[in-house]
Amino acid sequence: MGLGSARSQVSWVNIWQDPEAARFVADRRNGNETVPTAVTGAGEMVEAEAETIKAHLASSSP
């Protein structure tokens, strides 16, 4: 199951092509480049299921 209509609320970044994004993830993951890392207004998640990400997006929407 994917993100469905919530997909439009997500920015996808390849951390191996974006050094700033790689630093962002590593800074929050004790130096690890753990992917996928999802960041929402409700918090950060590592290797989260799509349903969990959708719930976080819904809770952080105005």
Q: Where are the alpha helices (DSSP H) in 10-49?
A: 19-28
As a whole number, mean pLDDT of residues 33-46 equals 79
Q: How many domains does the chain have?
A: 1
| Confidence (pLDDT) at 1 | 58
Contact 53, 6 (CB under 8 A): yes
pLDDT-derived band at 12 (thresholds 50, 70, 90) equals confident
The pLDDT > 70 percentage for the chain reads 92
With a cut of 80, say whether residue 60 has pLDDT above it: no
- The answer to pTM > 0.95 is no
Helix (H) or strand (E) holding 46: strand 43-46
DSSP state of 55: H
Provide the domain limits for residue 24: 4-60
Comparison of pLDDT for 51 and 1, the residue scoring more: 51
